[in-house]
Amino acid sequence: MRGARRPAFPWRETMAFGLGRLRLSSRDFWAMTPREIAAAVEAVAGPARAPLDRAALAALMARFPD
């Protein structure tokens, strides 16, 4: 698509994870590649899950109607 904007990279969250949760030094954090950061996130938080589709969301809403 022309003119479509990609979402901004979540630097704030990534830095908070690397510097805060992993307690990396600034030097070590900035030396990491995006794949290394992603692997570290997955090691701590588990693999990413696909977002819910409409049917799955509707099923959850029916199951928990509050």
Question: If you average pLDDT over residues 41-58, what whole number do you get?
Answer: 88
Residue type, 28: D
Residues written for the chain: 66
Asked if 29 and 15 touch (Cβ cutoff 8 Å), the reply is: yes
**pLDDT digits 0-9 by tens, 5-37:** 888 888 999 999 999 999 999 999 999 998 999
Global confidence as pTM? 0.61
Tokens representing 26?
Answer: 């600034």
Can you give the residue ranges of every domain in the chain? Answer: 11-63
- Rounded distance between C-alpha atoms, residue 43 and residue 19, angstroms: 16
